[in-house]
Structure 1
Amino acid sequence: MNTPTIKTRFAPSPTGLIHLGNARTALFNALYAYRHQGTLLLRIEDTDLERSQTEYVQQLMTDLHWLDLNWHEGPQVGGDNGPYYQSERNEIYAHYYALLEQQDAVYPCFCTPSELALARKLQRTAGQAPRYAGTCAYLSQAEIAAKLEQGLKPTLRFRVPRGQKIEFLDLVKGQQQFATDDIGDFIIRRADGTPAFFFCNAIDDALMGVTHVFRGDDHLTNTPRQIMMLQALGLTIPQYGHIALIVGDDGTPLSKRNGSQSIQELRENGWLAEGVVNYLARLGHTYSEESYLSLTELANHFAVERLGRAPAHFDEQQLRHWQQMAVLQASATRLWDWIGQTVAAQVPHDLQTQFIAAIRSNMTYPHEALHWAKILFSDELIFSPEAQTVLAKAGSDFFHQAIVTLATTQGNYPEWVKQLKQATGTQGKNLFMPLRAALTGEVHGPEMANLLPLIGLERARRRLQANIMG
């Protein structure tokens, strides 16, 4: 079997719930893979043993499936490049640490966190960019042995070559260049023996055959470090594309404080996955087609050239717009699954298709479906303040004529309105609004011609009768 030409990956750390930013990263990697008939890889980067939790792993996979972002390789589906949990790959990392040690490309560092913090502070005070000063770079074997005998636990630092330029073509940002003299020797293994993100992330991309990496541009400065490591080990370097971050309305990175929600929260609060995906696909990527698109259509029109370099601004109004588009596009079966059993229990089975057709364009969230189900099929009706005002103004004579003409027209709404207009001389809002208020308790909502058959003639008559005084 031939290896697919294109392979992207989503590699989350299971230290919390997936939010919109994580989901968009997963989506862009998925769209690129789908667009090129490639492979989407899921890898769990759980080397932070203190913060990584099993429940977060399960939840992120649930969230990805909910968004219909189904991976071709990784946990649950397998593949030829496992294990797909980094916590299970320590022997692999040990092998590559050893190769770097053989090249003298790394060295143990015994500097304490407090010593490093003080050094960075002094560098900033002197107007210098903070980077490791190389304090332990040239310790002798005897000095190293002595420190180890004292029980000190060293980190392992990569020895950055001096006087060189690291250049690469970023898929989003274009040509990039970094001077190695501006990059301090960096840690690739922590003092507790666990691998640093820079290291295992790059090693696994190479070993798992990842060809394209789309990630947030907060990782841009990681890239020259990873390129140097992969070059030292003779491993294949993927193409990197750094996506502009999502920011809130205050211009700062999106967080719970300025509007971010987890994917779990969105699902529990009644958002449709199709709407969320349509919104995220356009958050930092332009589509010439402004209408709702299926996931396949989004992938077919996804292009690296259309990824923006400026920060993408989160706009909940736009998210709500795509929610409404998703509701309009969804099948009746899909909507019944979405609005749930509570609504289904309110709606007579033989009227369910009519109910969905009647309220679809006036429904954004499941609770609105429940609201209209109670209005249409319950004998209890709650009137909004605006409806009460309209009803009082219309008067008893209007509703008396409404009952008479309802009976003679047998619920044919256009004919009913026509006859009621002739009988009362009322027209426009003064004709339509009292009928809506009396029958639904609201002054706005779905077309009354679609609601009246659901309310039924007898219930409609009782509601009109209730507005005849004396």
Structure 2
Amino acid sequence: MTGEANQAAPRPWAKVAPPKPLLLKFPAILLSFIASMNPTKTRFAPSPTGLMHIGNARTALFSALYGESFLLRIEDTDAERSRREFVDELLADLRWMGLPWQEGPQTAEPGPDYFQSRRGAVYQRYYDALEQNGLAYPCFCTPRELEISRKIQLSSGQPPRYTGKCAHLNPEEVARKRAEGLEPTLRFKVPKRETVEFLDGVRGPQKFATDDIGDFIIRRADGSAAFFFCNAIDDALMGVTHVLRGEDHLANTPRQLLVLKALDLPAPQYAHNSLILGDDGAPLSKRNGSRSIAQLREEGYFPLALLNMLARLGHHYDSEDIMDFAALKARFDLSRLGKSPARFDIDHLKHWQQLAVRSADPATLKPWLHAETRALVPEDQLAAFLDIVRSNCLFPAEADGWARILFADELKAEPDMAAAARGAGEAFFLAALDAATLAGADFDAFMKALKAKTGAKGKGLFLPLRAALTGRHDGPELGALYRILDPARLHRRLAEFTYESE
């Protein structure tokens, strides 16, 4: 089997160009065979240089939703910025979101399989193959030289690209520069006057002229692999069939396809998602609404809410019902990914949070509450309290407030609500005390007796009661409050305003 065998069954997204002569024939044959036996395989390949944010999370989710097999790979070749603690946070975020990966690291301890910083020997084999076949060369140009060249090109109205200055150094010149202590980068030699074409899963047919690309760095001067190279090599070696990523990577794709073609390695099919904008229409950032996943988790968002929001951020579902991961996956359709930028709206996320809280069962809601709140709520009142939480709270902090109102003796009323209670008068609350004594836990009987004694109705009836019992305008329906309050505490709160009325 040769590279031509890969052409026998063209992939639906990609035009497959005739391959160049095999450079690493056995690995290519083996990889092609493995790929033919494997299901659709996607990957999430973050760099651990910070906390995971909305954009990263959406990429991970789309990849997990689309792939039959989902791979996690840590791209930590940036030694200065990559941190072990960020890998820890990343794994925690993915687990919290409920995104299962079938391949990849289970801990932040770097290993040779899924951490690029430990795969240098793998990449070296392919560097050697390219150099031996005249498809890569050492470059001794300094950053200053490259910057000057770039400015000259821009001032002349030309797109900035490498001039090829080092492409024709002979072995003696290379040896001399190395003897001078200069450490070169390694550049891939881009073929001239060719066109790279591929069918993007979101954006359709794409075409790039190689003369607009320029020779690019595939190995840095410190020996570490550049993104263009190691990202593509690992996708091929790990059997990734489909890459879903942001449209900011679209211009990287022709470079990676050139590398894979030169090495006769199988190329995945690419789909580039739209960018995410903030509430001001600018690219999403901390300034305009972005949050890290760790922040959202700390604030009390449910992963189900986040998944449902992200799955619709640039992707359309027919149903507006809240769905679990399995249902989202079953209905995910790449053809429904939009080309236009998607806008992150925190109110949209809160909508899904509301639905997630409303649909949560007691086993889910109880551990979501803060420990202090769980300690305050009597066990025999927990079910009733969780019903109140479902209909009135979005976050654990809000549940904290209702727990203090309902189960602590001290009540801090809002000033206007305290005034509303006092304005009802002593007779109203004396009648309320009598009605509560006679009715016990029967709220309907309590209200019937209070109406009969006072003649109050509508706002004149409900507002003073809500003010006395909770000190707040908003909240659960009055019957739920009446029934959950300890009778002694309820009587004290009604009695308090008989004294305040004097």
Q: Which residue of 2 aligns with 1:297?
A: 327
Q: How does 1:293-372 map to 2 (within 5 A)?
A: 293-372=323-402
Mapped partners of 1:283, 1:186: distance in 2: 33
Q: Which amino acid aligns with 1:19?
A: H
CA contact (8 A) 2:370 2:400 kept: no
Please give the alpha-carbon distance, in whole angstroms, between the structure 2 residues aligned to 1:414 and 1:114: 82
Q: Is the 8 A contact 1:386 1:442 kept in 2?
A: no
Q: Give the TM-score taking structure 1 as reference length.
A: 0.96
Query: For the aligned residues, what is the CA RMSD?
Result: 1.5
Residue correspondence of structure 1 range 6-405 to structure 2 within 5 A: 6-33=40-67, 38-76=68-106, 83-405=113-435
* Partner of residue 446, structure 2: 416
Say which is worse superposed, 413-422 or 365-374, in terms of deviation: 413-422
Between 411-420 and 441-450, the greater mean CA deviation after superposition: 411-420
Residue 454 of structure 1 and its aligned partner are, at CA, apart by 1.3
Superposition deviation, residue 392 in structure 1 = 2.5
Preserved CA contact (<8 Å) 1:386 1:443? no
Q: CA deviation at 1:82?
A: 5.9
Distance 2:162 2:306 in 1: 43
2:17 match: none
Return the offset for 1:94: 0.3
1:74–1:82 contact (8 Å) kept in structure 2 = no
Structure 2 match to 1:441? 471
Letter of the structure 1 residue corresponding to residue 40 of structure 2 = I
Partner Cα separation in structure 2 for residue 157 and residue 359 of structure 1? 60
Moved more, 451-460 or 346-355: 451-460
Query: What TM-score comes out, normalization by structure 2 length?
Result: 0.90
Contact 2:91 2:107 in 1 (8 A): no
Summarize the Cα distance change of 1:82–1:171 in structure 2 as closer, same or farther, 3 Å threshold: farther
The change in CA–CA distance for 1:262 and 1:77 in structure 2 (over 3 A counts) is closer
Query: What is the rounded CA distance, in whole Å, between the counterparts of 1:146 and 1:341 in structure 2?
Result: 68
Alignment partners' CA distance in 1, 2:463 and 2:38: 62
Q: What is the deviation of 1:257?
A: 1.2
Partner SS state of residue 177, structure 2 = helix
The aligned amino acid for 1:372 is W
Shift of 1:4: 3.4
**Helix, strand or coil at the partner of 1:221:** helix
Question: How far 1:385 sits from its partner (Å)?
Answer: 2.1
**2: CA distance, partners of 1:143 / 1:456:** 90
Task: Check conservation: 1:284, 1:311, Cα contact below 8 A.
Answer: yes
- Identity fraction in percent: 53
Preserved contact between residue 137 and residue 187 of structure 2 (Cα < 8 Å): yes
Distance 1:318 1:385 in 2: 32
Structure 1: runs of 5 or more not aligned? none
Partner of 2:486: 456
Equivalent-residue separation in structure 2 for 1:285 and 1:387 (angstroms): 45
What secondary structure does 1:467 align onto? helix
Secondary structure at the aligned position of 1:12 is classed as coil
Q: What is the CA-CA distance between 1:408 and the residue it aligns to? A: 1.7
Question: How many residues are aligned here?
Answer: 464
Q: Does the Cα contact within 8 Å between 1:42 and 1:71 map onto a contact in 2?
A: yes
In structure 2, give the amino acid aligned to 1:104: G
Match of 1:4? Answer: 38
How far off is 1:389 after superposition? 2.6
Q: In structure 2, what is the Cα distance between the partners aligned to 1:245 and 1:287? A: 19
Aligned to 1:466: 496
- How far 1:77 sits from its partner (Å)? 8.8
Deviation at 1:222, TM superposition (A): 0.3
- Shift in Å at residue 3 of structure 1? 4.7
Distance 1:250 1:130 in 2: 31
Aligned residue identity for 1:20: I
Letter in 1 for 2:384: Q
User: Can you list the C-alpha shifts for 1:53-80, whole angstroms capped at 9, x where unaligned?
Assistant: 11111110011000001100011299xx
Give the 3 Å change call, closer, same or farther, for CA 260–442 of structure 1 in structure 2.
Answer: same
Residue 107 of structure 1, CA deviation: 0.8
Assess if the C-alpha contact under 8 Å between 2:91 and 2:106 holds in 1.
no
Q: Distance in 2 between matches of 1:393 and 1:115?
A: 81
Specify the SS of the correspondent of 1:99: helix
Q: CA deviation at 1:419?
A: 2.2
Alpha-carbon offset, residue 416 of structure 1? 1.6
The structure 1 segments of at least 4 consecutive aligned residues displaced by more than 6 Å after TM superposition are: none
The one-letter code sitting in structure 1 at the alignment partner of 2:104 is G
Distance 1:250 1:141 in 2: 55
Does 230-239 or 353-362 show the bigger shift?
Answer: 353-362
